[in-house]
Chains A and B, each alone.
Chain A
Amino acid sequence: MTPDTIQAMVETKDIILSVRNLTMMFGRKKQQAAQLRAEQKSKEEILKETGVTLAVDNISFDVERGKIHTLIGLSGSGKSTVVRCLNLLLTPTKGKILFEGKDIQTFNAQQLLNYRRKNVSMVFQSFGLLTHRNVLDNVAYGLEIRGVKKKDRIDRAMEMIEMVNLKGWENKSIDSLSGGMRQRVGIARALANNPDILLMDEPFSALDPLVRQDMQFELLSIQEKLNKTVVFITHDINEAFKLGNTISIMRDGRIVQTDVPEEMTSNPADEYVSDFINSADKAQVYQVKSFMQTPSCLVSLQDGANTALALMRIHNVSSAYVVDNKMNFVGVLPLDAAFQVREGKLSFKEALVNDTPTAKQDMQISDLIPIASQSRFPIAVLNDDGKFVGIISKAAILTSLK
């Protein structure tokens, strides 16, 4: 993008964070390196001649309020350096970072602390949790730093713990949690401060693929609820496309292209970008199984209506998914029908809604849109053998298509 088009975007969109001509060098002879850079020398030549690593090379991009901006690149492309400049964990060699139009490098010490305490929070790849504290005190950490009263910060932390589905774990030690749970703590800690911007430095890279998908989905649903601005760093193109409203592809410290996903797919800036995109298993990204969830309320035919009612009450949902003892999907039991069964007005089998649509797990999500608009319930997902494997909500279908 040219500076003009960026300017045009600033005028029409609500830009919360802009990065302008950001350059980051590591080493002593920065002046000399800048000179060589002006002479169009490559990153390798600069390193060889001056010992300076040109980690980030004159990049600019904007982040729109309430949107997810993903920065993607291979390791060593400078993306983690960029995100650390956004809250000044690293001081840029050159360039500006504007938060709501204010240059954050002009902040004095107190303003910088306030910026970090109120406006940006960060989530780390290997979590960065304080292992000497339990879950609750980790989540409350940012509030504690800010000087929030104990009672208030505990209330707020509990709210966040609930939001990331860790209720009941608040007094557990960090060591007793799985990787996915630890990152939930990391996310809850970042959200507890109620920041405007969430910086996420490869937050899901250390997790195994299934957990990663869960977390991606959870991030999307949290984002939908809270409408946070997110700067998301990843090296996984699937993740970038799944999460990003806009994407910047980085290579050797430079941004090759910044665009919305569809534009990037149809008009890649160069061969590097198209190769990168093609490396993604695009079909898989948009497959139903990437977006499905485990239903909270799954009962078998033998369980009967009372079990179903109890489960629905616990999980606060209004329908239960019913399978036979071989996990074949039988139908959906809506709440009202379940009550009628209990009162003896209907038999369990009669109460089931079994004409509800189902989806195959490797179907394209876009094929589900017509079905989803008609279905009363989240759609049941079946595998190739017709066994029940999960459900996909209408919200999930819609978020996958943004």
Chain B
Amino acid sequence: MFEWVTEFPKGIYLDIKKPIDQAIEYMMNNWGAFFDGISMFLRQILLWVQTVINSIPWWLMILAVLIGAWRATRNPLRALMYAAMLFFIGLIGLWSLMYTTLSIIITSVFISLVLGFPLGILISFSDRFGRFVRPILDTMQTMPSFVYLIPAVMLLGLGNVPAVIATVIYSMPPMVRMTNLGIRSVDREIVEASKAFGATRWQLLVKALIPQAMPTIMAGVNQTIMMAIAMVVTSSMIGARGLGSEVLTGINRLESGRGFAAGIAIVIMAVLIDRLTQGAYNKKEM
């Protein structure tokens, strides 16, 4: 009689699975054109990025990393090491897969920045809007990504496009948060000074707030890139090609060597991108 004290009562049950399924089915049936549009748009960007990346010969890429790392670290030995690491990816036969992965990452990061930066600015201006957006960002970051991979496939099909969307969902929040944080922590007197000289809101934003917040914003960009790289393997489960799918094949066929080779290539990519973008951001701070 009192078993509801020790166990959750069996009599009450709320079914949220069915309405969610129905909602997604509804979207598939009725908003098809909309999702096709998104899909087409993303495919177009992706294609463009891929074309640009693929047109870069391997030696030019290595040279660019060498020069970039040199300028970022001012340490010729480290620059050489980074170039050698990149060469190693080609050496183990993963160069073209690496290019595919790089294209997906660049596209995702680009979209994350284009959406996240203005959103962060909006939040920094309005507490109310911030209170509304913050739980959404929390959900985006903590919801296991497999969960939204399923509807992404249903709505957008298999391949690189849903992978980009899943990656954007996962990697955009730090950009929004860091932009907001950076702008909010600009010195009060700098804001007052700008206003006191008769700056419009736009001038205040462009000439004072954004430049002053730049170090924090760049840290957000760096985090976004790292999160995007972290999604590479996960998104291969919905058909994204590249190094991630190589790892997945390794798992499916129990080929440790194949998995590790691709894994190492991902690690190298992450390290190189991180160092190079951080170098760019530290220089700005000086």
A126 within 8 A of B: yes
Of A27-35, A117-125, A157-165, the stretch lying at the interface with chain B is A117-125
Report the minimal beta-carbon distance from B34 to chain A, rounded to whole angstroms.
39
State whether A116 and B189 are in contact (beta carbons under 8 Å apart), knowing that A130-B212, A132-B214, A145-B203 are contacts in the complex: no
A274 contacts partner chain B, Cβ-Cβ < 8 Å: no
CB distance from B5 to the nearest CB of A (A): 44
B195 within 8 A of A: yes
The main secondary structure of chain A at its interface with chain B is mixed
Total interface residues on B, CB under 8 Å, equals 18
Report A-chain residues with C-beta under 8 Å of the C-beta of B187.
126, 128
B212 touches A145 (CB 8 A): no
A113 touches B192 (CB 8 A): no
CA distance A131 to B197 in the complex (A): 17
Interface residue? B283 (CB, 8 A): no
- Number of A residues contacting the other chain (C-beta, 8 Å)? 31
**CB 8 Å contact bits of A315-336 with B (1 = contact, 0 = none):** 0000000000000000000000
Given A125-B189, A145-B203, does the pair A116, B212 have CB atoms closer than 8 Å?
no
How distant is the Cα of A120 from the Cα of B214 in the complex, in angstroms?
A: 29
A129 in the interface, Cβ–Cβ < 8 Å? Answer: yes
Q: B80 at interface (Cβ–Cβ under 8 A)?
A: no
Compute how far the CA of A130 lies from the CA of B212 in the bound complex, rounded to whole angstroms.
7
Which B residues lie at the A interface, using CB under 8 A?
187, 189-190, 192-200, 203, 207-208, 211-212, 214
Chain A 226-267 interface 0/1 with B at a Cβ cutoff of 8 Å (1 = within): 000000000000000000000000000000000000000000
Residues 128-157 of chain A: 1 if any B CB is under 8 Å from the residue's CB, otherwise 0? 111111000000011011100000000000
Tell me if A131 and B212 are in contact (CB < 8 A).
yes
Which A residues lie within 8 Å of B192 (CB)? Answer: 84, 89, 122, 124, 128
Q: Are B190 and A130 in contact (CB-based, < 8 A)? A: yes
Q: Is A87 an interface residue (CB 8 A)?
A: yes
- Chain B residues with CB below 8 A from A377, complex form: none
Bound CA–CA A89/B197 (angstroms): 11
Contacts of B208 in A (CB 8 A): 130
A183 to chain B, nearest CB (A): 12
Question: Which residues of chain A are within 8 angstroms of B193 by Cβ–Cβ distance?
Answer: 122, 124, 128-129
In the complex, residue of chain A having the shortest beta-carbon distance to the beta carbon of B200: A113
Chain B contacts for A114, CB-based, 8 A: 198
> In the complex the two chains form, what is the Cα distance from A146 to B211 in whole Å?
19
**How far in angstroms is the closest Cβ of chain A from B167?**
31
Residue of A nearest to B215 (CB): A132
How far does the Cβ of B195 sit from chain A's closest Cβ, in whole Å? 6
CB distance from B282 to the nearest CB of A (A): 14
Does A193 have its Cβ within 8 Å of any Cβ on chain B?
Answer: yes
A117 to B190, CA, bound (A): 16
Chain B residues with CB below 8 A from A193, complex form: 197
Q: Is the CB of B189 within 8 A of A145?
A: no
Selected from B190, B198, B212, B214, the residue in CB contact (under 8 A) with A142 is: B198
CB distance from A266 to the nearest CB of B (A): 37
